[in-house]
């Protein structure tokens, strides 16, 4: 079992990473002294797979356990679901000392973390992520929130968990597409900050895709370190440091919005966005042709897309214009490359990235066009 | 213009208190650099009275100003109103740098502060309180939230404003009942921490009730100092220090709940609760009969109730039992005196109070009974 710490003063917490460590979870929580009554927010699929193991681990340490299920869907991250959950929890609460366990992927982490942040002015919560994406990215850093008709992540908070507990063995239930979606973020970490991690994926991608224990441990640990490091420096995303984590997200979000969040998974859209950013960097002579090629090759090797199918350039641009009405934080990225002052995270090597403003719109268009594939 | 600081590290802010200082408000905000586009959450009554003056002050300093009105009612502090406001603000937002001005009493301060805390993971807000209660109590300290069918203040956050700006002259529009409701909290401050303030009210209560400028300045300044001091020591209400602010609230909330928040204003209920707490303290020989008498006399002098009308003891006790299902933070106080482990803030002199647990239920009942008045 490995342990990292996210140093945020009073809001510091550990990230615990291991293989088949779920049985240890109850004991670890007991040491944290965060309450005696666990409310586990999860979906029916995860509960069926791992619910009993979690419950045993908690009950052995004397916690009471209550499961609250939400559907296994992106749309569970809604205001209605959040209020409904709070109602259910309030009726159950009485004089208990509750804490929340977010047991699932990014949707459940965001939803459960947000409800913890507003229930009785904030109660403790912990992240128990079951997807690669949540273990390496969304589970760490305290960005929680819900989506809404009027904007993705329009309603949310910065609210740090008391611990992030990543049991690698839980990833066995992921299908290949979910695994790849998480890998897109891992590759991103390699590009922006860690050439060693990038090389590791180049070398071991087959092992990773086969869910090899050591390979998964390695990439989750390396990614968590980078995320923790950046969050420490810029907890509330105001110093420009957390911005680096948005490599690939400017165009990635535009693609997601243009396809109404249905055609591409988040990781797939980010993979395409990352290749586009690398290509822009190459044209601007910030990135060598060799490095660009390594990035494109790696994304292809792990089975992520580097071409945009079934979307037209005009649709991507239109999606942004349309999104002007909807002003979620994420949608601001969407606007960034057609606004007067666009902003891109661009790789300037493998393991280093920079924020650049005012990339010529024609260049952006040209790069996206070169990625379009007619079907 | 007087200035106090609430020292909370990075979340520190000033409380500015003065008479007819609204014209200075825009200039002060400009210095704070909190954004360029003001969204003023207020009610139609306040807007009609002071809206133009506020708008002028802001526009002179180059701010854009948008008013968002909510009805002048306790029920405006609801989930529906909050979501509706966020929707209106999101559609207006585009790429503005918004901040929120809470322009009204406690309901507006709580609602607007809470929406600021969750909109785009938190945007800046300022308190511009227009009631005595909000200037001396609810506007300071960052407790924000909304009420809900399932519990008062069940949903909320600790989210500090960037400044609290108390223009005493705005209190001229208060009716006597509203003024007295605020005075109940001022008397509370005197009892728990400041004998000088208590004596001041004893001496100058007629001036206060006539809205004498110097008297109001004196009590708002003294009260704000105490509130700021306690909040500094216990921002998130976890150290037991903020608990002292609940003098009179244990029984006060029970009375409010028993009468469904309609018969008594918050201050009136707290006044009765304060006399009850003082009476318990007298019986327990923590408070001298003389001091008890001074407390009861002062509450009577300013025109606040010391007797409970139109409520039966059983209704007060029943209200608590009923409220067991509804677990708002406030309702925990309601439960406190019939639970196994009740907890009271009790005055042990004028200017000093203590938290006491396990006050015999029979004694509590006897004291409440002695305060019941048949009509």
- Taking contacts as CB-CB distances below 8 angstroms, the residues of chain B near A155 are 86, 118-119
Look at residue B343 in the predicted model and tell me its pLDDT. 82
Claim to verify: residue B124 and residue B81 sit in the same structural domain: yes
Nearest CA in chain B to A123: B157
CB-nearest to A87 from B91, B150, B324 is B150
Q: What are B24's two structure tokens? A: 């200075």
Q: Over range A292-309, report the average pLDDT.
A: 97
Look at residue B213 in the predicted model and tell me its pLDDT. 96
Claim to verify: residue A121 and residue A217 sit in the same structural domain: no
Residues above pLDDT 90, as percent of chain A = 78
Claim to verify: residue A164 and residue A189 sit in the same structural domain: no
Cβ-Cβ contacts under 8 Å for B216 (sequence gap 6 or more): B132, B168, B171, B208
Q: pTM for the whole thing?
A: 0.92
- Taking contacts as CB-CB distances below 8 angstroms, the residues of chain A near B326 are 90
> Confidence band (pLDDT; 50, 70, 90) for B140?
very high
Claim to verify: residue A65 and residue A139 sit in the same structural domain: yes
B303 DSSP assignment: T
The CATH number of residue B165's host domain is 3.40.50.1970
Claim to verify: residue B190 and residue B270 sit in the same structural domain: yes
Q: In angstroms, rounded to a whole number, what is the distance separating the alpha carbons of residues B352 and A22?
A: 50
Cβ contact, residue pair A83, B87, below 8 Å: no
Longest dimension (CA), chain B: 63
Claim to verify: residue B122 and residue B205 sit in the same structural domain: no
> Which of A81, A110, A120 to probe by mutation at the B interface, max B CB count within 10 Å?
A120
Q: B85-110, pLDDT tens digit by residue?
A: 999 999 898 778 999 999 999 999 99
The CATH number of residue B285's host domain is 1.20.1090.10
CA torsion through residues B310, B316, B318, B320, sign:
positive
Q: A14-43, pLDDT tens digit by residue?
A: 999 999 999 999 999 999 999 999 999 999
Cβ contact, residue pair B157, A122, below 8 Å: yes
User: What value of ipTM does the predicted structure carry?
Assistant: 0.90
Look at residue B331 in the predicted model and tell me its pLDDT. 43
> Confidence band (pLDDT; 50, 70, 90) for A319?
low
Q: Over range A135-149, report the average pLDDT.
A: 94
Terminal Cα distance for chain B, rounded: 47
Claim to verify: residue B9 and residue B157 sit in the same structural domain: yes
Q: List strand residue ranges (DSSP E) for chain B, in order.
A: 2-6, 13-18, 37-42, 64-69, 98-104, 125-129, 143-148, 151-158, 163-167, 308-309, 343-349, 352-357, 372-373
> Confidence band (pLDDT; 50, 70, 90) for B323?
very low
CB-nearest to B157 from A117, A151, A335 is A117
Listed residues A157, A174, A191: the one ending a domain: A174
Look at residue A320 in the predicted model and tell me its pLDDT. 58
Q: B331-348, pLDDT tens digit by residue?
A: 444 444 555 567 899 999
> Confidence band (pLDDT; 50, 70, 90) for B187?
very high
Cβ contact, residue pair A158, B119, below 8 Å: no
Q: A83 at the B interface (CB within 8 A)? A: yes
Q: B153 at the A interface (CB within 8 A)? A: yes
Cβ contact, residue pair A143, B155, below 8 Å: no
Residue numbers of the domain that contains B269 = 178-373
Cβ contact, residue pair A155, B118, below 8 Å: yes
Claim to verify: residue B227 and residue B271 sit in the same structural domain: yes
Q: Which residue has the higher pLDDT, A45 or B358?
A: A45
> Confidence band (pLDDT; 50, 70, 90) for A311?
confident
**What HEC string does B68-130 produce?**
EECCCCHHHCEHHHHHHHHHHHHHHHCCCCEEEEEEECHHHHHHHHHHHHHECCCCCEEEEEC
Claim to verify: residue B156 and residue B267 sit in the same structural domain: no
B-facing residues of A in 319-338 (CB < 8 A) are: 324-329, 332, 335
Q: Over range A317-326, report the average pLDDT.
A: 52
Q: A121 at the B interface (CB within 8 A)? A: yes
Nearest CA in chain A to B97: A327
Instruction: Give me the residue label for tokens 């300093």.
Output: B61
Q: What are A27's two structure tokens? A: 């004991």
Listed residues B119, B145, B172: the one ending a domain: B172
Identify the CA nearest to B324 among candidates B150, B183, B164, B182. B150
Nearest CA in chain A to B123: A157
Claim to verify: residue B118 and residue B194 sit in the same structural domain: no
Q: Is the pLDDT of residue A325 over 80?
A: no
Instruction: Give me the residue label for tokens 């990439």.
Output: A219
Between the ranges B182-191, B255-264, B363-372, where is the mean pLDDT highest? B182-191
Q: Which residue has the higher pLDDT, A309 or B222?
A: B222
CB-nearest to B150 from A91, A157, A328 is A91
Q: Is the pLDDT of residue B10 over 60?
A: yes
Q: What are B165's two structure tokens? A: 């700006």
Listed residues A152, A174, A196: the one ending a domain: A174
Residue A68 forms beta bridges with which residues?
A41
Q: How many domains does chain B have?
A: 2
Instruction: Give me the residue label for tokens 């600081």.
Output: B5
B135 DSSP assignment: I
> Distance from A125 to chain B by nearest Cα, in Å?
15
Q: In angstroms, rounded to a whole number, what is the distance separating the alpha carbons of residues A112 and B84?
A: 22
Q: Is the pLDDT of residue B320 over 60?
A: no
Claim to verify: residue B182 and residue B93 sit in the same structural domain: no
Q: Over range B283-310, report the average pLDDT.
A: 97
Claim to verify: residue B309 and residue B332 sit in the same structural domain: yes
Look at residue A375 in the predicted model and tell me its pLDDT. 60
């Amino acid at each position: 079992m490995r342990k990292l710490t996210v140093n945020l003063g009073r809001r510091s917490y550990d990230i615990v990473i291991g293989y088949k460590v779920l049985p240890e979870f109850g004991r670890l929580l007991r040491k944290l002294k965060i309450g005696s009554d666990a409310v586990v927010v999860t979906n029916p699929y995860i509960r069926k797979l791992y619910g009993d193991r979690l419950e045993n681990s908690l009950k052995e340490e004397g916690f009471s356990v209550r499961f609250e299920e939400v559907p296994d869907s992106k749309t569970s991250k809604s205001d209605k679901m959040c209020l409904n959950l709070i109602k259910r929890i309030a009726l159950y609460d009485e004089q208990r000392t509750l804490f929340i366990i977010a047991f699932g992927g990014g949707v459940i982490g965001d939803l459960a973390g947000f409800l913890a942040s507003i229930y009785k002015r904030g109660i403790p919560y912990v992240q128990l992520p079951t997807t690669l994406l949540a273990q390496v990215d969304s589970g760490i850093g305290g960005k929680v929130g819900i989506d809404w008709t009027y904007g993705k992540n329009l309603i949310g908070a910065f609210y740090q968990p008391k611990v992030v507990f990543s049991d690698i063995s839980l990833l066995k239930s992921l299908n290949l597409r979910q695994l790849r979606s998480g890998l897109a973020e891992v590759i991103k970490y390699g590009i922006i900050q860690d050439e060693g991690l990038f090389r590791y994926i180049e070398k071991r991608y087959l092992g990773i895709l086969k869910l090899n224990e050591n390979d998964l441990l390695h990439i989750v640990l390396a990614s968590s370190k980078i995320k923790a490091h950046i969050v420490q420096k810029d907890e509330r995303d105001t110093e420009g440091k957390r911005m680096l984590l948005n490599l690939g997200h400017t165009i990635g979000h535009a693609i997601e919005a243009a396809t109404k969040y249905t055609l591409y998974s988040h990781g797939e859209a980010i993979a395409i966005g990352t290749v586009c950013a690398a290509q822009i960097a190459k044209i601007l002579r910030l990135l060598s042709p060799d490095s660009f090629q390594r990035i494109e090759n790696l994304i292809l090797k792990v089975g992520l897309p580097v071409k945009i199918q079934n979307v037209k350039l005009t649709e991507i641009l239109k999606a942004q214009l349309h999104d002007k009405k909807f002003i979620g934080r994420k949608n601001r990225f969407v606007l960034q490359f057609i606004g007067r002052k666009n902003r891109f995270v661009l790789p300037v090597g493998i393991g280093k990235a920079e924020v650049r403003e005012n990339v010529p719109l024609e260049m952006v268009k040209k790069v996206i066009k070169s990625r379009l594939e007619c079907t």
